[in-house]
């Protein structure tokens, strides 16, 4: 029997979630699986299930590319168990950040996608592989991973504060980075990775 890596398991789970959206109907899956603000269709399991639903083919494609790109080396370095802890801490902290933001702004809309987890992996990648070159897709500019992380975080903060890119949960992305940072700080304090 084949052993799957954590990255492969997460990609398969996301593809299955996307397939369920297509077959059962996006409305049904979004109503019960996406992350809704507290008091508006919110169910406790949504702090995890939202990360396995996506708003279209491009959304899942970019998220799975990021998961594969940053996740492979991190899983090899950290081991499967700690990698999964890192990923799901990022997913959960992204959800809590989004709930906080929608609670403060009064926004009534669902949040979905693996981006919070992927942004957590991005932060960890920049910490563990700071000098590795990462290529932006648009425009194609190579830069060290640590610079890429800082630029992306600043861009997310700017877009979130200004609201100039509506329909994207910028603060959830930053929340994913916070979750990853907390896990890494905790694990580093214990002095063991595997």
Parse the chain into domains and list their residue ranges: 6-190
49-58, 89-98, 100-109: segment of lowest average pLDDT: 100-109
Identify the bridge partners of residue 135 per DSSP, sorted by sequence position. 142
Nearest to 180 by CA among 124, 127, 129: 124
Who contacts 123 (Cβ-Cβ below 8 Å, separation ≥6)? Answer: 149, 153, 176, 177, 180, 181
Whole-number Å distance between alpha carbons of 67 and 88: 13
pTM attached to this predicted model: 0.92
Counting every residue written for the chain, the total comes to: 194
CATH class of 6-190: mainly alpha
Q: What is the mean pLDDT of residues 119-146?
A: 91
pLDDT of residue 1: 52
How far is it, in rounded angstroms, from Cα 59 to Cα 100?
A: 23
Average pLDDT, the chain: 91
Confidence of residue 193 (pLDDT cuts 50, 70, 90): low
Q: Is the pLDDT of residue 194 over 60?
A: no
* Sequence-ordered list of residues with C-beta below 8 angstroms from that of 160, at least 6 positions apart, any chain: 101, 170, 171, 174
Q: Which of 9-13, 38-42, 148-152, 187-191 has the highest mean pLDDT?
A: 9-13
According to the model, what pLDDT value does residue 191 have?
Answer: 62
| Better pLDDT: 8 or 106 | 8
């Amino acid at each position: 029997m084949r052993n799957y890596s954590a990255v492969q398991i997460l990609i398969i789970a996301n593809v299955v979630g996307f397939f369920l959206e297509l077959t059962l109907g996006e409305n049904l899956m979004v109503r019960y699986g996406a992350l809704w603000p507290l008091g508006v269709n919110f169910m406790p399991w949504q702090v995890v299930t939202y990360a396995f639903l996506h708003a279209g083919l491009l959304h899942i494609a970019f998220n799975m590319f990021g998961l594969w790109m940053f996740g492979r080396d991190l899983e090899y370095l950290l081991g499967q168990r700690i990698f999964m802890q890192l990923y799901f801490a990022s997913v959960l902290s992204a959800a809590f950040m989004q709930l906080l933001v929608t609670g403060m702004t009064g926004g009534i809309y669902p949040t979905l996608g693996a981006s919070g987890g992927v942004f957590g992996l991005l932060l960890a990648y920049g910490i563990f592989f700071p000098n590795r070159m990462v290529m932006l897709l648009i425009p194609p500019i190579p830069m060290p991973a640590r610079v890429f992380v800082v630029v992306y975080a600043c861009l997310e903060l700017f877009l979130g504060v200004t609201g100039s890119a509506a329909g994207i949960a910028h603060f959830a992305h930053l929340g994913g980075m916070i979750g990853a940072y907390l896990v890494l700080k905790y694990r580093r304090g214990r002095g063991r990775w595997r």
